[in-house]
Amino acid sequence: MLSDLSLEELKNYVNEKGLPTFRGSQIFDAIYNGKAINEITNLPKPLLEEISEEYPKYKIVKRYESKDGTKKYIIEFSDGEVVECVLMSYKYGNTICVSTQVGCRMGCKFCASGLNGLKRNLSSGEILGQVLLVNKDLGGTVKERKITNIVLMGSGEPLDNYDNVIKFLRLVTSENGLNISDRNISLSTCGLVPEIYRLADEGLNITLTISLHAPNDEIRQRTMPIANRYSIKEILDACRNYIDKTKRRVAIEYTLIKGVNDSKVCAEELIRLLKGMLCHVNIIPLNYVKERGLTAATRKEAYQFVGLLEKGGLSATVRRTMGEDIAGACGQLRNSYMRGEA
Ligand code: SAH
């Protein structure tokens, strides 16, 4: 698909067809302005016909808007698969939360994204497509973009789709594209250790976010199957390497689940684990996922937990929950729209 290609690659693509280089720039502009092929007015018809197979066909098929202004978009790809992405508006700009896979194979017990396993990976151009479509929906263009920040925290495990995710990051940060600063991008992972080491060497200074959710391996194994593969120690060693290489502070996500990981003892263990590491802990009260049968800690309990962490010397805050009324909050994204469940 043509949105998988950089500007250079698109220029080569048209050159190979015997066409002048500027045609590549025109196609690039159309893609980056989120245009469907029938909205392109500056290309000759035979050329449009020639590229129509490979021109992106993703589209927004539904929008939901939350009371708090958060928007959830359902995006459909050419094979009929759908993903959800979420737009959050803040004073400083607009953050889009993109999906990296249709479904997920990590199987975390609290999350909706893996309920039906992994359907398929998204290509780099399909991840980018979510940003381009939403940017256009907000009235943005490639020159005047409305999206300022990106979080790879939708459905899927980004590091389980490593090459496409890296290519996406290079496309979305490229100067002639949306030119989004790597400092404004966060990638969240449940902790695929070898890929965290690889990521540290990509020269992309994005914020690494770890979905930790437990202070020890035993508790982590109860809710996250990946904990049987990598220990917390291995994950944190990989984080320290990431910090060394990028000088970036790592974010730790910790979803508070009643009776599972919310005790004072858990807080104390977490302090011992993270003390001295350049990190910030986000405490998220569990968001509701009907199939999962887990109970959330209250916001008050979340603030108390944060209080304990702060007293122990950690930097921590309670993450604001956005878009829960449209099932657009952390862990609520799924690919069930076509089955009418969303
Ligand atoms: N697979 C990646 C990216 C998903 S990001 C990862 O695991 O990090 C989505 C975030 O929401 C992750 O931190 C995930 O652990 C968290 N999450 C999942 N289900 C949740 C729920 N029900 N309530 C709150 N957070 C949840």
> 153 C-alpha to center of ligand 1: Å?
7
Mean pLDDT taken over the chain: 94
Please indicate, yes or no, whether residues 81 and 230 belong to a single structural domain of this protein. Answer: yes
Taking residue 256's Cβ as centre, other Cβ atoms within 10 Å add up to 24
Answer whether 161 contacts ligand 1 (Cβ < 6 A). Answer: no
Please report whether residue 160 resides in a domain.
yes
CATH of the domain at 67: 3.20.20.70
How many structural domains does the chain have? Answer: 2
Distances in Å between the Cα of 316 and the Cα atoms of 227, 287, 338 are: 23, 19, 38
Q: Which residues are catalytic?
A: 84, 330
The pLDDT of residue 337:
56
Q: Give the closest residue (by CA) to ligand 1 atom 18.
A: 331
Q: Report pLDDT for 340.
A: 44
Average pLDDT over residues 25-43: 97
The Å distance, Cα 307 to ligand 1 centre, comes to 22
Say whether both 8 and 81 belong to one domain: no
Domain containing 240: what range?
58-326
Closest atom of ligand 1 relative to the 287 alpha carbon: 23
Three-state secondary structure along 287-300? Answer: CCCCCCCCCECCHH
52 and 146 housed in the same domain:
no
| Cα–ligand 1 centroid distance for 19 (angstroms) | 46
pLDDT at 341: 45
Check which CATH number belongs to the domain holding 30 and give it. 1.10.150.530
Same domain (yes/no): 123, 84? yes
Domain co-membership, 208 together with 250: yes
Residue 339 has pLDDT above 60, yes or no: no
Q: What pLDDT is recorded for position 316?
A: 97
| In a shared domain, residues 164 and 200 | yes
Same domain, 14 and 142: no
Indicate the pTM of the whole model: 0.96
* 179-215 per-position pLDDT tens digit: 999 999 999 999 999 999 999 999 999 999 999 999 9
Q: Does residue 342 lie in a domain region?
A: no
Same domain, yes or no: 33 and 128? no
Residue 341 lies in a domain: no
Does 93 reside within a domain? Answer: yes
What's the gap in Å between 225 CA and the centre of ligand 1?
A: 14
222-264 pLDDT, tens digit per residue, is 999 999 999 999 999 999 999 999 999 999 999 999 999 999 9
In a domain, 336, yes or no: no
**Segment 126-144, tens digit of pLDDT:** 999 999 999 999 999 999 9
Amino acid residing at 46:
P
Region 272-282: mean pLDDT is 97
71-117 tens-digit pLDDT: 999 999 999 999 999 999 988 899 999 999 999 999 999 999 989 99
Q: pLDDT tens, 264-273? A: 999 999 999 9
Residue 267 domain flag: yes
- Between these two residues, 321 and 48, which has the higher pLDDT value? 48
> What is the percent of the chain with per-residue pLDDT over 70, rounded to a whole number?
98
- The predicted pLDDT at position 333 comes to 86
pLDDT value at position 322?
A: 81
SS3 track for the chain: CHHHCCHHHHHHHHHHCCCCHHHHHHHHHHHHCCCCHHHCCCCCHHHHHHHCCCCCCCEEEEEEECCCCCEEEEEECCCCCEEEEEEEEECCEEEEECCCEEECCCCCCCCCCCCCCEEEECCHHHHHHHHHHHHHHCCCCCCCCCCCEEEECCCCCHHHHHHHHHHHHHHHHCCCCCCCCHHHEEEEECCCHHHHHHHHCCCCCCEEEEECCCCCHHHHHHHCHHHHCCCHHHHHHHHHHHHHHHCCCEEEEEEEECCCCCCHHHHHHHHHHHCCCCEEEEEEECCCCCCCCCCECCHHHHHHHHHHHHHCCCCEEECCCCCHHHCCCCCCCCCCHHHCCC
- Yes or no: say if 297 and 257 are a contact pair by the CB < 8 Å rule: yes
Is residue 126 in contact with ligand 1, taking CB distance under 6 Å? Answer: no
Is there an atom of ligand 1 within 6 Å of 153 CB? yes
Query: Cβ(186) to ligand 1 under 6 A?
Result: no
Report whether pLDDT(342) > 80: no
161 and 30 in a common domain: no
